[in-house]
């Protein structure tokens, strides 16, 4: 008889683990809106819950499924990806040393610098695997990796980072928002915690802000993370949790379709006369391609960036001409998005001013190529 452990992750996701709740045998799980739970006459909690801020049954379907997809021991939903990342930092002890990348999600990097300064934590930034190795010649408490890294899509060798981090006495946390468990499972490669901005691919419909952490083990550090979530109130509402679980059921076809389209777009524009470069780990010309091919199974994600010949003015002109790509911040949904990333990040950005960040959705690929071709005509003319 076929058992759950024999099923592929795509099947488990599509069926929401396949468990229909009693008594109605619903195919779609109900929304659990209760905020508090009744005690028995002796003061015990026969339902195992006291208050939704600590543990809501609304979280169970998505947390259980994500544990299976990431092959972890425990998962926790949060009100946003930033809330999930914050909980990791709040679980550290005073004076802890953090090693994090120069190039990562801009809002998190900016907050991390400010948080460490205010809370007297030591923060050292690195650029590339070799600098990471040099930083970890000294003891550390936490190593943060984002791969591929937003918005230029540098690739970090997770297995090597895990070995280095553990030798330095540190936990390794991997922001795997872009590849998702469809293409990368950091815990299998040695990471201790994997983080997702679940707003993006895990939900996939631009209608939920959420975050999630999945841990290799339910240890004391994980207990402190759960305490930070409950005490800080960074919890997800029941309807949002239900929407996230709904989005997870189409995760594999959505992400695979978008990634296949992104790969085709990257190949089409790799040598385009209006572009200086196409940044996509699936291209053999990408400096991190070999590592990406080793640790990303079945695809290279649906994010890429175009560096436009003619600089900032030409890049902005391209965004003004697109018709199918939507000019909006965020990524990972069914619609394709484009933005001039440096102007979004503002002063202090490390992003090249000629860079356009693309989140490829699930529209017809040729339509997307045609849209970019007609928009790039302005840059070609200027060049």
Third-level CATH fold of 251-382: 3.90.1150
CATH architecture group of domain 4-248: 3-Layer(aba) Sandwich (3.40)
State yes or no: is 188 an active-site residue. Answer: no
Cis ω for the linkage preceding 265 (within 30 of 0): no
pLDDT of residue 220: 97
State both tokens at 111: 């907050």
Q: Where in the chain is the domain with CATH 3.90.1150.10?
A: 251-382
pLDDT at position 383, please? 58
Active site residue 175: yes
Angle at 103 between CA 177 and CA 276, to 5 degrees: 100
pLDDT at 1: 47
Judge if the upstream peptide bond of residue 23 is cis by omega within 30 degrees of 0.
yes
Model confidence pLDDT, tens digit, residues 319-350: 999 999 999 999 999 999 999 999 999 888 88
Q: Which of 68, 200, 216, 357 is catalytic?
A: 200
User: Considering 59, 97, 103, 105, which one is annotated as catalytic?
Assistant: 105
- Given this model, what pLDDT does residue 5 score? 72
Q: Which of 141, 175, 192, 371 is catalytic?
A: 175
As a whole number of angstroms, the distance between CA 178 and CA 300 comes to 9
Predicted local confidence at residue 348, as pLDDT: 83
Which segments in the chain show pLDDT lower than 50?
A: 1
Please name the residues in contact with 337: beta carbons below 8 A apart, sequence gap of 6 or more.
Answer: 325, 326, 327, 328, 329, 330, 331, 358, 359, 361
pTM of the model: 0.94
Question: Considering 49, 53, 224, 256, which one is annotated as catalytic?
Answer: 53
Query: Does residue 200 have an active-site annotation?
Result: yes
């Amino acid at each position: 008889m076929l058992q759950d452990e024999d099923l592929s992750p795509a099947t488990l996701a599509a069926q929401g683990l396949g468990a229909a709740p009693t008594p109605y045998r619903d195919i779609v799980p109900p929304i659990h809106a209760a905020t508090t739970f009744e005690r028995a006459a002796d003061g015990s909690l026969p339902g195992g819950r006291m208050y939704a801020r600590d543990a809501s049954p609304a979280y169970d379907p998505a947390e259980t499924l994500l544990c299976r997809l990431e092959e972890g021991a425990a998962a926790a939903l949060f009100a946003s990806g930033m809330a999930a990342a914050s909980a990791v930092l709040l679980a550290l002890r005073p004076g802890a040393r953090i090693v994090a990348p120069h190039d990562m999600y801009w809002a998190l990097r900016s907050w991390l610098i400010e948080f460490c300064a205010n809370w007297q934590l030591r923060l050292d930034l690195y650029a590339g695997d070799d600098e990471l190795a040099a930083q970890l010649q000294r003891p550390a408490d936490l190593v943060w990796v984002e791969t591929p890294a937003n918005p230029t899509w540098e690739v970090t060798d997770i297995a090597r980072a895990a070995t280095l981090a553990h030798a330095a006495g540190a936990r390794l946390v991997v922001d795997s928002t872009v590849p998702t468990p469809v293409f990368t499972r950091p815990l299998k490669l040695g990471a201790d915690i994997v983080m997702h901005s679940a707003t993006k691919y895990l939900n996939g419909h631009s209608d939920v802000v959420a975050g999630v952490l999945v841990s290799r083990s339910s240890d004391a550090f994980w207990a402190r993370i759960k305490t930070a979530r409950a005490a800080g109130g960074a919890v997800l509402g029941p309807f949002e949790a239900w929407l996230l679980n709904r989005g997870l059921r189409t995760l594999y076809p959505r992400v695979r379709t978008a990634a296949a389209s992104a790969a085709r777009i990257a190949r089409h524009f790799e040598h385009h006369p209006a572009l200086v470069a196409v940044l996509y780990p699936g291209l053999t010309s990408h400096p991190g391609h070999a590592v990406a091919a080793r640790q990303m199974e079945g695809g290279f994600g649906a994010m890429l960036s175009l560096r436009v010949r003619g600089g900032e003015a030409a890049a902005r002109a391209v965004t003004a001409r697109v018709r199918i790509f939507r000019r909006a911040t965020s990524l990972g949904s069914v619609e394709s998005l484009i933005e001039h990333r440096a102007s979004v990040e503002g002063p202090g950005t490390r992003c090249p001013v000629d860079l356009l960040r693309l989140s490829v959705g699930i529209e017809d690929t040729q339509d997307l190529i045609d849209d970019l071709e007609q928009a790039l005509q302005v840059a070609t003319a200027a060049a």
